[in-house]
């Protein structure tokens, strides 16, 4: 005789999805890519809020914030929030294909470009202080933002260009030891980022800040091409 207070057999045997679903917080902490991307975004956000240049004009202290001028710091702060949201969801950093796969790489490159433009506007402000018989230099906030930008750019490039599960017939684990074959893509994009920074820095050192925009874009593009080529060449030697 069936107990009316007892659940039916079909109800007791029903599969509980929570048994196979990892907690999001634990999954986030177990993912080096998502965690590294989020750490870089947080550092970039802190740097964007700090002064980017400081100096003196006479006895008056002056400073240049990332929210002044073209508000590059505000743009970086907005991008850092986007990066944090991207890291929170595995749909981007672990996407196999489509636009979501390329989003972390493009976001990192955009942050690098904005950070370099911040250098240009900071130098323009410092030049204005010097014209008024003052002096100044780039402040710690700018370099903190640069550390965050570098982490976001490198991790984003690696997340986009690495092999993903479902991409081949023999899927690899999400967390595994680095392979020599990873060096080609990884060093290629590291070289591209280094070349971008080197080319833009060379343009800013050769041309006055007021006229450096077009040469900076040209020399940064050349730096990306040369840096990526050299990085991939070194990666092939390592992978051979």
Record: fold of 25-164: Butyryl-CoA Dehydrogenase, subunit A; domain 3 (1.20.140)
Give the whole-angstrom CA distance, residue 40 versus residue 53.
21
Burial of 154-187, coded b for 16+ CB within 10 Å and e otherwise, reads bbbbbbbbbbbeeeeeeeeeeeeeeeeebbbbbb
Residues of the chain above pLDDT 70, percent: 75
At 148 the pLDDT is 94
Strand 60-65, strand 135-138: pairing:
unpaired
Number of C-alpha atoms within 13 angstroms, CB side, residue 56? 2
DSSP-derived secondary structure letter, 169: S
Give the span between the Cα atoms of 18 and 30, in whole angstroms: 18
pLDDT of residue 170: 39
Query: What DSSP assignment string belongs to 98-111?
Result: SHHHHHHHHHHHHH
| Backbone torsions φ then ψ of 53, nearest 5 degrees | -150, 145
Mean pLDDT of 140-149: 93
How much is the pTM? 0.63
For the cut 50, the answer to whether the pLDDT of residue 125 exceeds it is yes
Tell me, what DSSP letter sits at residue 51?
E
User: Which band of pLDDT confidence, cut at 50, 70 and 90, is reported for residue 11?
Assistant: low
Is 110's pLDDT higher than 80?
yes
Q: Which residue has the higher pLDDT, 204 or 236?
A: 236
Find the largest Cα–Cα distance for the chain: 99
**Range among 23-32, 64-73, 159-168 with highest mean pLDDT value:** 64-73
Domain with CATH 1.20.140 in the chain: 25-164
Q: pLDDT per residue over 26-67, tens digit each?
A: 666 778 888 899 999 999 999 998 999 999 888 888 988 888
Which residue intervals of the chain are DSSP H helices? 9-12, 24-29, 32-49, 72-88, 90-93, 99-131, 140-161, 182-206, 213-239
Query: pLDDT for 75-91, tens place per residue?
Result: 888 889 988 888 887 77
CB 118 within 8 A of CB 142: yes
Confidence band, pLDDT 50/70/90 cuts, at residue 183: confident
Please state, as a whole number, how many other Cβ atoms lie within 10 Å of the Cβ of residue 200: 27
What pLDDT is recorded for position 40?
A: 94
Cβ pair 194, 229 in contact under 8 A: no
């Amino acid at each position: 005789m069936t107990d009316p207070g007892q659940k039916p057999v079909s109800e007791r045997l029903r599969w509980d999805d929570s048994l196979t679903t990892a907690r999001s917080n634990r999954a986030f902490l177990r993912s080096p890519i998502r965690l590294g991307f989020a750490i870089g975004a947080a550092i970039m956000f802190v740097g964007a809020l700090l002064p980017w240049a400081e100096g003196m004009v006479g006895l008056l202290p002056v400073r240049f914030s990332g929210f002044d001028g073209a508000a590059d710091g505000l743009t970086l702060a907005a991008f850092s929030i986007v990066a944090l949201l991207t890291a929170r969801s595995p749909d981007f950093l672990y996407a196999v294909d489509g636009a979501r796969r390329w989003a972390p790489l493009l976001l990192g490159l955009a942050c690098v470009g904005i950070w370099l433009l911040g250098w240009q506007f900071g130098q323009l402000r410092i030049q204005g202080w010097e014209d008024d018989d003052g002096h100044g230099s780039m402040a710690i906030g700018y370099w903190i933002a640069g550390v965050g930008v570098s982490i976001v750019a490198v991790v984003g490039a690696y997340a986009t260009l690495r092999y993903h599960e479902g991409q081949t017939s023999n899927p690899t684990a999400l967390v595994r030891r680095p392979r020599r074959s990873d060096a080609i893509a990884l060093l290629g994009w590291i070289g591209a980022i280094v070349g971008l920074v080197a080319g833009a820095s060379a343009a800013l050192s050769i041309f006055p800040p007021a006229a450096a925009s077009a040469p900076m874009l040209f020399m940064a593009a050349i730096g990306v091409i040369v840096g990526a080529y050299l990085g991939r060449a070194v990666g092939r030697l390592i992978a051979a």
